[in-house]
Amino acid sequence: MSKEFEINTKYEHTFSVRIDSTTKRQFFLDKNSPIKGFKILYVKTRRGDGTNKSLQGETIVPAATFTASFLVLKVRQTEVLNKIPLEYLENSTTQVPALGYPIFLQEIDFEQSYVEVATGVTLTADQVFEFTFTFLKQ
């Protein structure tokens, strides 16, 4: 049984992006995203201190990894719409907790969008980036 979303009503979806390899620099978002095809309004995130847990109970990446990372949003598999430093997302989340960083995009390809970590940053496997997207059905 799938949930029907009411038109012009805001919803939130929180998910984690796992560091599954310490040699990769790109970690893809939600492969089976339930918000695929919806209009994305805002995104929120937060950094960890080595002990912070995501809503799913996973360890959130520490500050050194977080500050060297970007959220890359794509459409149609190849076109990059936005490459946003995670610190920008976090600052917006802190300043306006009810909203977060404004995106206002449609048709984001969540299977091709990813978190990118700068080279030279030491990664720890099984830590996660946590995101909350606010979306709207039109």
Q: Report CA-CA distances (Å) from 83 to 56, 59, 88, 114.
A: 26, 24, 11, 10
- Return the half-sphere exposure (C-beta side, CA atoms, 13 A cut-off) of residue 15: 16
**Alpha helices by DSSP H, the chain:** 63-67, 86-95
Q: Where are the domains of the chain?
A: 10-136
Per-residue pLDDT of the chain (138 residues; tens, 9 = 90+): 356 778 888 999 999 999 999 999 999 998 778 888 788 999 999 998 878 999 989 999 999 999 999 999 988 766 777 899 999 999 999 999 889 999 888 788 888 899 999 999 999 999 999 999 999 877
Q: Any residues with CB less than 8 A from the CB of 34 and at least 6 apart, and which?
A: 13
C-alpha to C-alpha distance for 45 and 86, rounded to whole angstroms: 8
**E strands within the chain?**
10-18, 26-28, 39-46, 69-75, 79-85, 101-106, 114-117, 128-136
pTM of the model: 0.89
pLDDT recorded at residue 109: 86
> Which residues on neighbouring strands pair with residue 106, listed in sequence order?
39
b/e 5-28 (16+ beta carbons within 10 angstroms → b): eeeeeebeeebbbbbeeeeeeebb
> Which residues on neighbouring strands pair with residue 72, listed in sequence order?
83, 114
CATH number of 10-136: 2.60.120
